[in-house]
Structure 1
Amino acid sequence: MHKLLMLVFLSVFAFANNLVLQNGEIEVHTEVFGDNEINPKTQNIDSSLNYKNSIESIRGKINILSSSLKSKKEDRDKNMYELLNSSIYPNITFNITDIKKDKNKQFQIKGNLTLNAVTKEIISLVTIEESENIFSINGTFFIKLTQFNMKPPKMFFLTVRDKIDIKYNLIYKKDNK
């Protein structure tokens, strides 16, 4: 019986393919009221996704180091790393738990975002295009700093807005091992 269960378990994973990240960028956007906007981005992305037989079967994790987010202003980046508690919680992780196609043939990715040691469920609207063995995943979502136990910083009369917009463009190749 034990061998039969092990065979069934292994056969489920035998039909899964790894999706290998070929190229990607994650961009974050917020604004400083009374000043200008902040748009750090990173291409330093670690990802382990798998795919069974449909786009809706994609599962896995996407991870970035918060210190890899860079804007055009180093002094603001230092403040951002301090706000994100980068020295204590260096990783920002998104774990995909579900993908569904909506009425408009767009996808919704549901997952758990872990930031500052706080995990919250996030839903992202995304376009996923599949051609041959390539998947192009482009989407957006937003969070509030206060959801993740962070207080928007204030400097004199300037305040960073609580809402953070996140945009991502990821290209994966199916690895048929």
Structure 2
Amino acid sequence: MMLKLSLAAVALSASMYAGSLSFESGAIKAHTEVFGDNTIDPVTKKATSHLSMDANPTTLKGSIEISMNDLYSDNKKRDEHMQDVLESSSFPKAVFDVKDVVAKSGDNYTLKGTMTFHGVSKAMNFEGTITEEGGKVRIKATSSMKISDFGVKPIKMMFLTVRDQVDLNVDISLKR
């Protein structure tokens, strides 16, 4: 009987640390370049979290998605062109599905998963930190991808071609 009560207490306390994580705030930024303009930095401050995590960050699982229509930069005309090139009406979301989180040192982790972008899914890793304080989980991580790997031709502007590599910077806060 005492063993059953102890197991029930452990299960109850573990469930207090488990659960869904909803997007609260933050930004997901993309950066690329073209000669003469190094400020092509579309960003979104909206995301949908389908993530869950127990007490340890290595238990983080699920996915996070953004709407391509929520990406914007400092140039509306360029944003309209970006939406056309990315075919956001046909491929409205980018989704990162977390498959495994590997502890490195301290709060540093590698998030291994699959990125689905423009209808193509590819293995991808993010490097960064995962911290928790006051019922909020903060993920700060970076990665890069080639848009051509996802079937998107690098954007051309006049006689210049935008760099194929896009650097991603995630800084989000999730609440339990």
Equivalent in 31, 55, 58 of residue 57 of structure 2: 55
Q: For 1:167, what is the secondary structure of its paired residue?
A: strand
Unaligned runs of 5+ in 2: 1-10
Q: Following TM superposition, by how much is the alpha carbon of 1:104 offset from its aligned partner in structure 2, in angstroms?
A: 6.3
Let me know the Cα RMSD of the aligned residues. 1.7
Matched, 1:32 2:42: no
Q: Distance in 1 between matches of 2:135 and 2:156?
A: 47
Q: Following TM superposition, by how much is the alpha carbon of 1:163 offset from its aligned partner in structure 2, in angstroms?
A: 0.5
Q: Following TM superposition, by how much is the alpha carbon of 1:170 offset from its aligned partner in structure 2, in angstroms?
A: 0.9
Q: Distance in 2 between matches of 1:125 and 1:116?
A: 23
Q: Following TM superposition, by how much is the alpha carbon of 1:129 offset from its aligned partner in structure 2, in angstroms?
A: 1.1
Q: Distance in 2 between matches of 1:118 and 1:105?
A: 31
Q: Which range moves more in the overlay, 155-164 or 30-39?
A: 30-39
8 Å CA contact 1:34–1:158 kept in 2: the answer is no
Partner of 2:125: 123
Deviation digits for residues 105-149 of structure 1 (CA, Å, limit 9, x no counterpart): 510001111110000111110111122422111011000011101
Q: For the structure 1 residues 158 and 34, does the alpha-carbon distance in structure 2 shift closer, same or farther, using more than 3 Å as the test?
A: farther
Q: Scaled by the length of structure 2, what TM-score is found?
A: 0.85
Partner of 2:95: 93
Deviation digits for residues 60-99 of structure 1 (CA, Å, limit 9, x no counterpart): 1111110100011011101111121101010111111110
Q: Distance in 2 between matches of 1:29 and 1:110?
A: 21
Q: Distance in 2 between matches of 1:60 and 1:97?
A: 7
Question: What is the identity percentage for the equivalent residue pairs of Structure 1 and Structure 2?
Answer: 35
Q: Scaled by the length of structure 1, what TM-score is found?
A: 0.85
Unaligned runs of 5+ in 1: 1-10
